[in-house]
Structure 1
């Protein structure tokens, strides 16, 4: 499950990323309003952790833009502004929760899990197709009720194709879901991970087919 961390304090953002990765998440780091806008246009995230005091503007502007587009992305606001009116303004702008600095990492993770557990969000739900079930919270794959271990990137490919099963997923969307803002990505990287996933599904007798739609992307469907 990939998160976007928007925090101008480089050291704090890295600490947050390390802590969240230890809790089982993947995280992209950006440090300004402009970078946050670019990231949100490029990648689909499960949630955003948003600092308000950014060098090129107020983080609330990013939040307000999301909500004007009726984007339901869960947002946890981090800020040194701890006055009652500040909290009210953040929540009214569309924040799902508000955490004042300094804070304990354990509390941040707990609050994040709470907003992801709300109806319509991702945590605690499962995706299924044929004889395969994928638990989005534990990132565990079950085939015929037997658990199997896939790598993080193979699991990322599985998740995005399962979420859009029966529909074509553009190759670029798959790439963004796997690598986020990782920078240079080999031209055949997506093909490599799709091939590995196909092999794993076949080895474990999953009744699922991944179709390649040449020049477009991939479609996951139940094996006929």
Structure 2
């Protein structure tokens, strides 16, 4: 449970859109955390079990600024996620959330690789302050980017950078929804993604009412990326696929 507070107005928004991996299985807490983080201009990937979180961390090419793990998770626990990351020499800053408040538990969490430890129930102002402290401690954080093939998404500038031997390096501006559609496809390369999956993804990202016409977003993305190789392939009757094949192959 989260403690209520009237001091949210005192939070100072961070300037850049850093990417955060939030792993929390309690729907109310996860939704509240995601809402506050978005208000602070963070970009949030929220998953609800440790197994899915590990898939993001192990296989996806997202450059997270930091992660928030609940200790007790279905599948892989937050403590085990910390241990796995450190075993793989991954320096990702981690804030561990838990109802365990014994000193022995705090020591176990820090020894497993967590950089900070916050006991439930907690105040949102304190959570944001701790995250900002992590950013200061790990001052090498750059703008979050996702690179797959010859395309790089830059979350800070809302641009996609196309690297192509036939073209000079160029930045193409994307709206938030266009960026999130392309990001979702890039994070699942070679997989066929249905229109309904993309619509659901957009609804989760945008709490406000939105018309999620996937075909329109895909068409606009193709137009904007027309100078690059066309990375979005239509699989008739099934959906779309991010195609990593280079034109030269």
Q: TM-score, normalised by structure 1?
A: 0.61
TM-score by length of 2: 0.55
Per the alignment, residue 141 of structure 2 pairs with: 121
Report the CA distance between 1:216 and its aligned residue: 3.5
Unaligned runs of 5+ in 1: 124-133, 142-148, 161-170, 176-181, 200-209, 219-224
Alignment RMSD: 3.9
State the alpha-carbon separation in 1 of the partners of residues 221 and 94 from structure 2.
Answer: 30
CA distance in 2, matches of 1:70, 1:188: 41
Number of positions where the alignment pairs a residue of Structure 1 with one of Structure 2? 174
Structure 1 pair 104/43, CA: closer, same or farther in 2 (3 Å)?
farther
Q: Point out 4+ residue stretches in structure 1 off by more than 2 angstroms.
A: 38-43, 55-58, 119-123, 149-157, 171-175, 182-196, 210-218
- Cα deviation 1:97-155 (Å, max 9, x = unaligned): 111111111111121122123232237xxxxxxxxxx994xx699xxxxxxx9743567
Change (3 A) 1:64 1:195: farther
Of stretches 28-37 and 59-68 in structure 1, the one that deviates more from structure 2 is 28-37
Q: 1:46: how far off?
A: 2.4
In the alignment, is the contact (CA less than 8 A) between 1:47 and 1:74 conserved in 2?
yes
Distance across 2 between alignment mates of 1:96 and 1:38: 21
Q: Would you say 1:34 and 2:51 are equivalent positions?
A: yes
Structure 2 unaligned blocks of 5 or more = 1-17, 144-153, 160-172, 190-195, 200-213, 232-242
Q: 1:70 maps to what in 2?
A: 89
Once residues 245 and 218 of structure 2 are traced to their aligned partners in structure 1, the CA distance between those partners, rounded to angstroms, is: 10
